[in-house]
């Protein structure tokens, strides 16, 4: 067996300097100090565990020590005993997870989850464990997902760091490993495979060969996981600073075939410009570029889930619309229409909120429209429609379209950027003149009914839509001109 690298402590060994740093971090939190004192006085153990310890160690290593916001604690106290210890100290408690041994509490504005030592067994037909209380910290840590989450810091007087599976060494080495067999771990809870994907993006860790092999072998097991849980992990991955490597792992292991097969289908689908190895690689590049534009815009929401989903999925209609043309060309006519429908179907199945689904589908539908702009030949009417069709998604559409221009030809890239600059300028000029954010007909419903002498009903709606189209086509009209156009339309509609 090869020797461990010097920077990686042997399993269970934590350097004294790290021990001291973690003790100091724990002592920075009055909540942890008080919690430890209460449990110790009652004769119970209490340990800070999981991501809280991992993040504290990362913060210590970065030279920017901080106490994590939400705290996870494990104890040998049973749930009812934990509730009694929290009585009169916590501002509020909740027991929605008490069947699994977890009691939640808000203490001085800090959220704490306290879980009894567990020694669960899984039935492997669902991800719900047969809950069993454990008797030791080490056994509790052994059932956790990855070694970097299987470390603990005692909240007792000694502040002892427990690391039986070498999580600190893995953190220093930048690798992702399971405490025991990766196959057994993922069979117990297949959601851990998606957590592995997320940790690649969140912590920049590289899974071991064993972990990757188990993910490939067991990817179909994700079918046991509810769509809601899958969606949460996928979203968390996308919202990280640099999700590309994680998404490549997601696809290469076959997890995407189960969760987001439309993404896997983009591989080897050559795009019509022959500028990219395949549409899959192009889509990841668009995502990278969209994230960069999002971060560079101080007025934008960041991280922006809607923009990132649209960047990743904007071309998923291409496989279904690919056609081989004369001369060796490949076309994807109307892939934006097909793609918008596929986006709606997939995101609905993943239980995304309706507003997210509608926004991502609309961005997918609109992402090609700019390419009809040419060198600025659009009429003011077309520019108005571009802006009003996008509505409040316009800032995101700007970023998506710019990100989608990934040509490696520097002259063409500069020309596309300049052309889009000119479109944005025209939109801004028209918006200043006409308030494009609220384009409405020049006459409202009451005026329509008075002019035409009709009661409320379908015909008023038809007249309103006619006037809105007129407004988009010609811009704001004086009331008398709008009235004349309305009367002419009404007369022709009724055979006059």
Q: Give residue for tokens 């056994």.
A: 139
pLDDT band of 191, cuts 50, 70, 90: very high
Distance CA 172, CA 39 (A): 32
Write out the H or E segment, with its range, that includes residue 28.
none
Lowest average pLDDT, out of 39-53, 66-80, 233-247, 352-366, goes to 66-80
Tell whether the model's pLDDT for residue 194 goes beyond 90. yes
CA 134, 140, 142, 146 dihedral sign is positive
What pLDDT score does 140 carry? 93
Give burial (CB, 10 Å; 0-12/13-18/19+) of 106. Answer: middle
Convert the pLDDT of each residue in 419-475 to its tens digit: 999 999 999 888 877 665 556 777 888 888 888 888 888 888 888 888 888 888 888
Distance CA 360, CA 340 (A): 8
Bridge-based pairing of strands 110-116 and 71-75 is parallel
Convert the pLDDT of each residue in 133-153 to its tens digit: 888 999 999 999 999 999 999
Query: Which residues are paired to 152 by β-bridges?
Result: 49, 162
Q: Own/partner pairs for 80-87, CB < 8 Å, 24+ apart?
A: 81/42, 81/44, 82/114, 82/116, 85/38, 85/39, 85/42, 85/44, 86/114
Tell whether the model's pLDDT for residue 276 goes beyond 50. no
What pLDDT score does 4 carry? 43
Is 275:330 a contact under the CB 8 Å cutoff? no
Instruction: Give the SS3 label for residue 126.
Output: coil
CA neighbor of 295 nearest in space, from 377, 369, 222, 240: 240
What pLDDT score does 275 carry? 43
Report the b/e string of 317-354 with b at 16+ CB within 10 A.
Answer: bbbeebeeeeeeeeebeebbebbbebbbebbeebebee
Domains of the chain in start order, with CATH, are 1-173 (3.30.460.10), 297-438 (no CATH), 445-493 (no CATH)
């Amino acid at each position: 067996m090869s020797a461990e690298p010097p920077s990686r402590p042997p399993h269970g060994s934590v350097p004294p300097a790290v021990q001291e740093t973690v003790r100091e971090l724990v002592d920075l939190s009055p909540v942890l100090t008080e919690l430890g004192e209460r449990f110790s006085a009652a004769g119970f153990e209490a340990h800070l565990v999981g991501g809280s310890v991992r993040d504290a160690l990362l913060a210590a290593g970065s030279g920017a020590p901080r106490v994590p916001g939400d705290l996870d604690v494990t104890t040998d106290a049973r749930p009812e005993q934990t509730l009694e210890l929290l009585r009169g100290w916590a501002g509020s408690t909740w027991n929605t997870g008490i069947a699994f041994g977890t009691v939640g509490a808000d203490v001085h504005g800090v959220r704490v989850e306290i879980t009894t030592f567990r020694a669960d067994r899984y039935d492997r037909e669902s991800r719900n464990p047969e809950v069993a209380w454990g008797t030791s910290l080490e056994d509790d840590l052994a059932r956790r997902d990855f070694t970097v989450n299987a470390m603990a810091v005692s909240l007792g007087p000694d502040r002892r760091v427990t690391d039986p599976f070498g999580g600190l060494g893995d953190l220093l080495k930048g690798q992702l490993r399971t405490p025991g067999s990766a196959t057994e771990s993922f069979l117990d809870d297949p959601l851990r495979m998606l957590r592995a994907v997320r940790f690649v993006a969140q912590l920049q860790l590289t899974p071991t060969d064993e972990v990757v092999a188990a993910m490939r072998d067991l990817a179909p097991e994700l079918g046991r996981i509810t769509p809601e849980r899958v969606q949460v992990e996928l979203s968390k991955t996308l919202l990280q600073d640099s999700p590309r490597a994680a998404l490549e792992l997601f696809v290469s292991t076959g997890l995407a075939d189960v969760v987001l097969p439309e993404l896997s289908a983009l591989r080897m689908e050559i795009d019509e410009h022959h500028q990219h190895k395949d549409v899959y690689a192009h889509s990841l590049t668009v995502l990278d570029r969209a994230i960069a534009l999002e971060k560079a815009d101080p007025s934008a929401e960041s991280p922006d889930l809607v923009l990132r989903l649209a960047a990743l999925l904007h071309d998923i209609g291409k496989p279904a619309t690919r056609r081989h043309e004369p001369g060796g060309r490949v076309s994807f006519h109307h892939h934006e229409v097909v793609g918008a429908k596929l986006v709606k179907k997939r995101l609905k199945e993943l239980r995304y909120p309706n507003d997210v689904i509608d926004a991502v589908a609309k961005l997918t539908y609109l992402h090609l429209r700019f390419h009809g702009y040419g060198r600025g030949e659009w009429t003011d009417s077309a520019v108005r429609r571009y802006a009003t069709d996008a509505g409040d998604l316009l800032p995101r559409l700007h970023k998506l379209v710019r990100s989608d221009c990934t040509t490696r030809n520097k002259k063409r890239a500069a020309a596309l950027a300049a052309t889009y600059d000119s479109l944005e300028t025209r939109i801004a000029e028209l918006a200043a003149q006409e308030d494009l954010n609220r384009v409405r007909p020049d006459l409202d419903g009451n005026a329509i009914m008075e002019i035409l002498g009709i009661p409320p009903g379908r015909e008023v709606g038809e007249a309103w839509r006619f006037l809105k189209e007129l407004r988009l086509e010609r811009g704001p009209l004086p009331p008398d001109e709008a009235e004349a156009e309305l009367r002419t339309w009404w007369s022709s509609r009724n055979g006059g």
